[in-house]
Amino acid sequence: MTKIMVVDDDKLVTDLLQKLLKNKGFDVTIVNESPKALDLAKREMPDLILLDLMMPELDGFRLCRKFRAEPYFRYTPIVIITALDNEDSRAVAFGAGATDYLSKPFHPDELYAKIAEALES
């Protein structure tokens, strides 16, 4: 079973994503506090990470860089899911190592397509 970690400080968003992903047969781990994400990921070893950008303490840009600095996660797909829908944010996210980028709000089918594409690469 494919393991997906969702990192977002908004519990409503993580609840929704958890339901959507579990309905598609994914094993889902939720992290609502970004500073805890890296340690939990080392224990869970997800196949893919869904990462929000706007979070307190440790934003998604910095967390993405931290994941990429770890040998375990150098090639793990990281799909950004964020309300930031501008070219600067996209450029910084891809520069930090993101695999793909999805703007909120999104259609579930778009999310599933991004996940499938990221897992294939």
And the tokens for 44?
């869970």
Asked, for residue 23, whether it belongs to a domain, the answer is yes
Look at residue 121 in the predicted model and tell me its pLDDT.
Answer: 79
Q: What is the CATH number of the domain that holds 44?
A: 3.40.50.2300
Asked, for residue 113, whether it belongs to a domain, the answer is no
Contact 17, 49 (CB under 8 A): no
Spell out the SS3 assignment of 52-82: CCCCCCCCHHHHHHHHHHCHHHCCCCEEEEE
And the tokens for 24?
């598609």
CA distances from 116 to 26, 35, 54, 81 (A): 12, 27, 24, 15
Look at residue 110 in the predicted model and tell me its pLDDT.
Answer: 97
Asked, for residue 120, whether it belongs to a domain, the answer is no
Asked, for residue 62, whether it belongs to a domain, the answer is no
* Number of structural domains the chain divides into: 1
CA distance 42 to 67: 10
Contact 15, 36 (CB under 8 A): no
Asked, for residue 76, whether it belongs to a domain, the answer is yes
What range does the domain containing 91 cover? 3-51+67-106
Residues of the chain with pLDDT under 70: none
Asked, for residue 22, whether it belongs to a domain, the answer is yes
